[in-house]
Amino acid sequence: MTSLLPLVEAVDSFPYVPNDYYFTFVGHNGQPLGYMVPEVATAFKTCSASDKFVVNDGDKTVTMGGELDTFEKRSAVVAQLAEEWRQKDPVVAKGWRDELYVVFSPRTVPYFSVERAFSGVLGVVTYGVHINGIVPASKSSNGKTKMWVPRRSKTKATASDNVIKECYEEGGLDKAFVEPRISSAGVISYLCQPYGPKGHAQPEVEYIYDLVFDSETEYEPSPVDGEAEEFKLMDLDEVLQRMKDGEFKPNCTLVVIDFLIRHGHITPENEENYLEITSRIHRRFPFATRN
């Protein structure tokens, strides 16, 4: 098997050895929250809330002022800036969803909320949920584990206790079906630069769940909210091949790689970069996180 490391490197693409290109976004409490490109840091000097932030070109920080001392005040300022960016930044305008992510600081404490489309500009940690729909080898028609693969995989800003809701919205699976079959299986994290080496930094977290079907036919997932177009049941060889062919969203490949590692399909014997891949998809951020 050729190594899957390049697929991981394409997503966990932010350098491990720090350079001085990015600015660090810092809370009023001194805790780092994310990484910003210099253009964004500069824009903070002239934005409508410029009096509430300190941009320091020497130590490369953009720090919230001490008066931003509540969740509400911070969220209000960030909402104002998000709206401002929406007017001038086509990427933010296009990505706008009226959907709020929560940023945490210190760990587990909600610090402010931010429109999804603006989170990438600030470079703060975002959270998603991914559910692997699985027919185990023992229940599959060809004796091989199969996976329900949506035509367009998707991640959303849901908390992990909304997994059941997510199963309905994404695949039309109801609570009575999902609850006895689903289990938490870990979390992956990576720091990507979706717009290249000098583009926005996106630290992302995906909570992973495995949903085990009793047969290939008992319940066919079908899209409800339209984020997936259709679901196809593939065995893992096909999943792996399509992944290598670039048919999956890049961050979804990491979810699949994590699944294949946990279930013994990618092993230290068949993957020469096994350890590197495992640590890269469990990257530790220098930022506080949800949990």
**Residues making contact with a copy of itself (CB under 8 A):** 16, 107-108, 159-161, 183-187, 189, 205, 207, 261-264, 266-269, 271-276, 278-285, 289-291
- Secondary-structure breakdown of the chain: helix, strand, coil percentages, each rounded to the nearest 5: 35, 25, 40
Q: Take residue 67 and report the two structure tokens written for it.
A: 């008066």
Which helix (H) or strand (E) segment is 8 a member of?
helix 5-11
In the complex, minimum distance from the CB of residue 219 to a copy of itself, in angstroms, rounded to a whole number: 20
User: How deeply is 98 buried, as exposed, middle or buried, from its count of CB atoms within 10 A (0-12, 13-18, 19+)?
Assistant: exposed
Q: Take residue 115 and report the two structure tokens written for it.
A: 């429109």
Q: Which is nearer to a copy of itself, 122 or 187 (CB)?
A: 187
Q: Which is nearer to a copy of itself, 35 or 231 (CB)?
A: 35
In the complex, minimum distance from the CB of residue 88 to a copy of itself, in angstroms, rounded to a whole number: 34
Closest CA to 243 of 161, 113, 149, 177: 149
Enumerate the β-bridge partners of residue 202.
Answer: 192
Q: Which is nearer to a copy of itself, 83 or 272 (CB)?
A: 272
Exposure string of 122-155, with b = 16+ CB inside 10 Å and e = fewer, is bbbbbbbbbbbbbbeeebbeeeebbbbbbeebbb
Other beta carbons within 10 Å of 190: 22
Provide the residue type at 154 as one letter: K
Q: Which is nearer to a copy of itself, 11 or 281 (CB)?
A: 281
In the complex, minimum distance from the CB of residue 200 to a copy of itself, in angstroms, rounded to a whole number: 21
In the complex, minimum distance from the CB of residue 185 to a copy of itself, in angstroms, rounded to a whole number: 6
Q: Which is nearer to a copy of itself, 112 or 127 (CB)?
A: 127
Q: Which is nearer to a copy of itself, 22 or 53 (CB)?
A: 22
In the complex, minimum distance from the CB of residue 133 to a copy of itself, in angstroms, rounded to a whole number: 16
In the complex, minimum distance from the CB of residue 130 to a copy of itself, in angstroms, rounded to a whole number: 13
Q: Which is nearer to a copy of itself, 199 or 286 (CB)?
A: 286
In the complex, minimum distance from the CB of residue 275 to a copy of itself, in angstroms, rounded to a whole number: 5
Chain centroid, CA 119 distance in Å = 11
